[in-house]
């Protein structure tokens, strides 16, 4: 049976069977062997989990390509070793948080043990907490690093590990590569210090919660509007995650008196089963369906839903037909940034040194809005750590207003350096109250944006390719697009290709190729391709850094002259996105 395995895979399997691994792990591996499950053995051992745009993430199970005490232990020991080398004369401090997923609490304790055994002081949250609060805690406690155990919005079979640096952002170059070098230097589990030092582990909780909520309250801009619209009807679902610990009390502190929590999704569900949803992702309409149904029942103004670690938020609001409609990540980011830009302008705070930030696959509507306010918009690679990198590089020079990405992650202010659904829920509720105070719904505000700046629509085509063969197929697709770029998209000539792997821009009208500047503004070599057409269409190819997927982003634009045209223009843009996907054979 195992004779069919790749020799490298077989060697790893034997290492785990013969090494000093626990008996449960060995029995699980032996069971796969006895069943002749070579496919599962290959997927579990053909590679080691690597840091991607979201850190370490994978299926829970045995093997070098799975989340378990040994892969978590190896990553943590590598990080601990690097911290000890990077800060040789300092008392090194780290913070650790975790969410409601399977083994999250167990993994967080393993991480605390390894750090403490390595001479590092550990601040460990006493119970599950949102990811953005971990980022906030790192800065508050002057930590050198931090870890949150979460797989964000992935299916229940997954868990993950996000590593953070001194400024509260996820680890970026050169530290990410250096940490990986330290991880790779660990050749045996005997090198991992699993026996912790309890004297170096400090539990934290309510005191950080209070400071974090006070910070978010300080971001409020339209307190008077909230006072007048305190009965704004809000429905909130934490999707069995950490958001329930902070979002409801925060909305109450802000002055909102009519907040309905979806009770059957309020239980954090420590075994990570997410019993009421197929996929705990606020990007999915199914996950938001209970909240939307409740909103229809009580005639709510706003629906908010956060993912398990509460760094992403999905929303819904009454559309121009009076029906509850989900907004996508680009729409939410646009309304949020528009509100912030207006508020800063009205307050006389725009001095020419402010900026917003987004990723290259997020709507170009934000670029256009920012330019109209005289505000710089910086574009980064996908991954909020790159937005945090821009904030860090501009600190003391330019002032960050807010930013976001199409995958439902947003940030207001710079006290947190990762996407923050807790603060975003607060600001989205506030802007909805602000709009209602002016006789508008949140959706009316979006339509006004489209009328002023153009109707931008972005579609996502996501193809799942699992396992080793899937990874190879994804790489081949990227190679094919790179070697044979599309000449037209929906009848419009392709005039430019940006290759972020080669860090080059090719102008097809002149045949010239120039370099994309690297080393700053969140740009480094990454396997991403973008194509631009004469009519402003943007097409992006990008393998996911955290999931077995390749994603294709299609951005199109049209003029919108009035609310009455919304439905027809919207339908036309959606049809154009579908047509582009079909002509490229993306299925």
Nearest by Cα to 234 from 254, 214, 215: 254
Bridging pattern class, strands 302-306 and 313-318: antiparallel
Q: Rounded to whole angstroms, what are the CA distances from 359 to 331, 362, 405, 407, 521?
A: 14, 5, 6, 10, 11
Beta bridge partners of 514: 505
- Asked if 441 contacts 317 with a C-beta cutoff of 8 angstroms, the reply is yes
Task: Give the separation between CA 458 and CA 447, rounded to whole angstroms.
Answer: 15
Instruction: Give the CA-trace dihedral at 308, 312, 316, 317, to 10 degrees.
Output: 130
Nearest by Cα to 449 from 575, 357, 371, 560: 560
Task: Give the separation between CA 401 and CA 398, rounded to whole angstroms.
Answer: 10
- Cβ count within 10 A of residue 262: 21
Residue 414: in which H helix or E strand, if any?
none
Bridging pattern class, strands 56-59 and 158-164: antiparallel
Tokens 């419009």 appear where? Answer: 492
Question: DSSP string of 450-464?
Answer: HHHH-EEEEEEEEEE
Choosing from 116, 152, 222, 526, which is the catalytic residue?
152
3-state SS, residue 496: strand
Nearest by Cα to 336 from 247, 408, 440, 394: 408
108 is catalytic: no
Angle at 582 between CA 577 and CA 584, to 5 degrees: 100
Q: Which residues contact 115 (CB under 8 A, 6 or more apart)?
A: 76, 80, 94, 96, 122, 196, 200
Residue 238: in which H helix or E strand, if any?
none
Tokens 């629509």 appear where? Answer: 457
Nearest by Cα to 52 from 163, 186, 167: 163
| Cα distance from N-terminal residue to C-terminal residue, the chain | 34
Instruction: Give the CA-trace dihedral at 319, 321, 325, 329, to 10 degrees.
Output: -40
Beta bridge partners of 32: none
Task: Give the separation between CA 241 and CA 441, rounded to whole angstroms.
Answer: 28
- Asked if 419 contacts 362 with a C-beta cutoff of 8 angstroms, the reply is no
Angle at 29 between CA 25 and CA 32, to 5 degrees: 145
Task: Give the separation between CA 527 and CA 542, rounded to whole angstroms.
Answer: 7
What phi and psi values does residue 193 have, to the nearest 5 degrees? -90, 85
Bridging pattern class, strands 354-359 and 376-380: parallel
Per the rule left: phi > 0, alpha: psi between -120 and 50, beta: everything else, 536 is left
Q: Which positions are annotated as active-site residues? A: 152
């Amino acid at each position: 049976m195992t004779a069919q395995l790749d020799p490298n895979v077989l060697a790893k399997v034997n290492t785990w069977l013969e090494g000093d691994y626990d008996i449960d792990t060995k029995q699980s591996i032996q069971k796969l062997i006895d069943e002749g499950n070579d496919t599962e053995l290959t997927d579990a051992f053909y590679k080691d989990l690597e840091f991607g745009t979201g850190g370490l993430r994978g299926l829970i199970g045995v093997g070098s390509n799975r989340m378990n005490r040994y892969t978590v232990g190896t990553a943590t020991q590598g990080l601990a070793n690097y911290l000890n080398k990077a800060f040789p004369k300092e008392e090194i401090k780290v913070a650790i948080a975790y969410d409601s997923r399977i083994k999250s609490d167990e993994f967080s304790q393993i991480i605390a043990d390894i750090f403490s055994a390595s001479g590092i002081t550990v601040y460990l949250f006493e119970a599950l907490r949102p990811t953005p609060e971990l980022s906030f805690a790192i800065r508050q406690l002057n930590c050198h690093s931090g870890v949150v155990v979460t797989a964000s919005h992935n299916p229940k079979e997954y868990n993950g590990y996000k590593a953070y640096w001194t400024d509260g952002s996820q680890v970026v170059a050169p530290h990410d590569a250096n940490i990986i070098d330290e991880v790779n230097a660990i050749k045996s589990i005997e090198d991992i210090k699993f026996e912790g030092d309890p004297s170096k582990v400090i539990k934290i909780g309510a005191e950080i919660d209070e400071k974090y909520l006070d910070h978010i309250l300080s971001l409020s801009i339209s307190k008077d509007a909230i006072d007048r619209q305190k009965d704004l009807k809000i429905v909130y679902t934490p999707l069995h995650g950490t958001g329930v610990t902070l979002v409801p009390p925060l909305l109450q502190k802000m002055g909102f008196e009519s907040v309905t929590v979806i009770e059957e999704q309020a239980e954090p569900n420590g075994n990570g089963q997410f019993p009421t949803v197929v996929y705990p992702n606020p990007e999915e309409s199914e996950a938001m369906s209970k909240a939307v149904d409740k909103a229809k029942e009580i005639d709510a103004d706003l629906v908010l839903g956060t993912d398990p670690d509460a760094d992403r938020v999905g929303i819904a609001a009454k559309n121009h037909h009076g029906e509850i409609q989900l907004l996508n990540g680009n729409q939410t980011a646009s309304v949020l940034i528009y509100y912030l830009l207006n508020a800063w302008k009205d307050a006389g705070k725009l001095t020419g040194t402010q900026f917003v930030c987004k990723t290259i696959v997020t709507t170009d509507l934000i670029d256009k809005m920012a330019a109209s306010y005289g505000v710089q918009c910086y574009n980064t690679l996908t991954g909020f750590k790159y937005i945090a990198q821009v904030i860090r590089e501009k600190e003391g020079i330019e002032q960050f207003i807010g930013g976001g990405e199409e995958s439902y992650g947003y940030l207001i202010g710079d006290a947190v350096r990762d996407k923050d659904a807790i603060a975003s829920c607060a600001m989205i509720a506030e802007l909805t109250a602000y709009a209602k105070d002016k006789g508008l719904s949140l959706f009316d505000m979006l339509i006004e944006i489209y009328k002023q700046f153009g109707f931008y629509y972005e579609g996502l085509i996501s193809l799942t390719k699992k396992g080793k063969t899937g990874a190879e197929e994804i790489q081949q697709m990227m190679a094919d697009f790179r070697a044979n770029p599309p000449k037209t998209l929906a009848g419009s000539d392709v005039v430019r290709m940006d290759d972020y792997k080669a860090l080059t821009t090719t102008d097809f009208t002149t045949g010239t190729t120039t370099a994309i500047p690297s080393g700053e503004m969140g740009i480094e070599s990454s396997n991403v391709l973008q194509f631009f057409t004469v009519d402003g269409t943007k097409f992006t190819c990008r393998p996911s850094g955290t999931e077995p997927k390749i994603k294709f982003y299609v951005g199109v634009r049209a003029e919108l002259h009035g609310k009455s045209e919304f439905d027809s223009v919207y339908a036309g843009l959606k049809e154009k996105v579908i047509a582009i996907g079909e002509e490229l054979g993306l299925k």
